Amino acid sequence: MKKTFINGVSCISTQKTFDTVFLEKAVVNTNETVLSIVPPVYKDYISPAAIRRMAKGVKNGIVASALAMKDANIENVDAIITGTGLGCIEDSEKFLKNILDNNEEFLTPTSFIQSTHNTVGAQIALSLECKGYNFTYVNGAVSFEAALLDAKMQIEGEEANSILVGGVDENGAYTLSLFKLAGRIKKESDLPSNVLNANSTGVVYGEGASFFVLENERKESTYAEILDVEIKNKLEETEIESEIITFLRNNNLQISNLDAVVLGFDGNLESDIFYKNLAENTFDQTPQLYYKHLCGAYDTASAFGLWIASKILKTQEIPEIVKVNSVTKSAYNTILLYNQVNGKNHSFTLLSK
């Protein structure tokens, strides 16, 4: 059975995460409830005529995928697998608004065509002329992990040698207004936000596109090996520790073998208790990291977490800005990522140097 290696990474986010080494330009914004992307220079990667017609998520996905492939030093892949929670939500909003504004008459189909969730994967395939397996997972907070698991199984089963995997989500103004009404996003009165010591419900929302080139062989550019990915829809607070112990045992590891754990703290008072219990008990002797204070919370934010973990394994350094506690290790060889949203869609991802 083939092993799965991360040989190229890239990240377009609400931070300057491209054209940099590793988070040296990152800043924590505690005074806004919605974080917007720091855009790359799109015309360096996409023709100006095409840029005009593309939604934000599509543009970010194309640029992020191009940067990941450049990082892996490859020009094409056997398959493209994307995960997204809301897809091209801006174009969906535009199309629905046009229906209302025009009384369901004289509609142009452009926004409708580009509003589907698989638009990002399709546009990347067109730009690469890749005719291989192309699939998009829309599974809420585990959309990216579902894509990652699919890619890992395909590489292990020798159905593909190189796969481009990504997590993409964009913000849409009307959707955000609904999220605010529903209490999913923090109120202005809850600011400044403190993700680690939350005193209110809701989250600071974000957006981003992170892509990874997975291959079946180790190269000079290799960041990490993906040992295992597991998804659980529902778990109680009391079950998390035993679930993690079992997950590690299945990979011949135990808690003491972990050199760091990346937790998905998002500042929601009600669901961050899952992480707090682990931080104070299970992982009190393990270096703990977090990331949603930098990228905001969105369905595929865990891809940003994987980008951070991959970078740490390659650089062997942990930036101060992502540290939860002060525990350190002399070397970082094994990292566990754990994420959940509102107490559901729990995911465990295990990386090795």
Whether 220 is covered by a domain: the verdict is no
Residues 203 and 139 in one domain: yes
Residues 93 and 156 in one domain: yes
Whether 223 is covered by a domain: the verdict is no
- When pLDDT is averaged across residues 311-330 and rounded to a whole number, the result is 95
Residues 70 and 195 in one domain: yes
| Residue 219, pLDDT score | 94
- When pLDDT is averaged across residues 199-221 and rounded to a whole number, the result is 96
Whether 254 is covered by a domain: the verdict is yes
Q: What secondary structure does DSSP assign to 42-69, as a single string?
A: GGGTS-HHHHHH--HHHHHHHHHHHHHH
CATH code for the domain of 16: 3.40.47.10
Taking every pair of Cα atoms in the chain, the longest distance, rounded to a whole number of angstroms, is 66
Residues 49 and 173 in one domain: yes
- The pLDDT-based confidence of 36 (bands split at 50, 70, 90) is very high
Whether 199 is covered by a domain: the verdict is yes
Of the three residues 151, 183, 215, the one that is the final residue of a domain is 215
- When pLDDT is averaged across residues 195-222 and rounded to a whole number, the result is 95
What confidence tens digit (pLDDT) does each residue in 10-22 have?
Answer: 999 999 999 888 9
Residues 44 and 185 in one domain: yes
- When pLDDT is averaged across residues 326-333 and rounded to a whole number, the result is 95
Whether 301 is covered by a domain: the verdict is yes
| Residue 203, pLDDT score | 96
| Residue 52, pLDDT score | 83
- When pLDDT is averaged across residues 41-59 and rounded to a whole number, the result is 89
Asked whether the whole model's pTM tops 0.85, one would answer yes
Q: What number of H helices and E strands is found in the chain? A: 11, 10
Residues 182 and 282 in one domain: no
Whether 335 is covered by a domain: the verdict is yes
Residues 163 and 76 in one domain: yes
Q: Report the share of the chain in percent with pLDDT over 90.
A: 86
Residues 113 and 141 in one domain: yes
Residues 202 and 144 in one domain: yes
**What's the token pair of residue 70?**
């450049």
Residue 86 to residue 83: CA distance in whole angstroms: 10
Q: What total number of domains does the chain contain?
A: 2
Residues 266 and 338 in one domain: yes
What confidence tens digit (pLDDT) does each residue in 162-176 have?
Answer: 999 999 999 999 999
- When pLDDT is averaged across residues 143-150 and rounded to a whole number, the result is 98
DSSP secondary structure code for residue 7 in this structure? E
What confidence tens digit (pLDDT) does each residue in 111-123 have?
Answer: 888 888 999 999 9
**In this structure, how many other beta carbons lie within 10 angstroms of the beta carbon of residue 218?**
11
Residue 85 to residue 106: CA distance in whole angstroms: 30
Of the three residues 215, 242, 260, the one that is the final residue of a domain is 215
Residues 148 and 245 in one domain: no
DSSP secondary structure code for residue 145 in this structure? H
Whether 267 is covered by a domain: the verdict is yes
Of the three residues 215, 245, 267, the one that is the final residue of a domain is 215
| Residue 50, pLDDT score | 85
| Residue 107, pLDDT score | 81
Whether 221 is covered by a domain: the verdict is no
């990002």: which residue's tokens?
Answer: 120
Residues 196 and 241 in one domain: no
| Residue range(s) defining the domain that contains residue 205 | 5-215
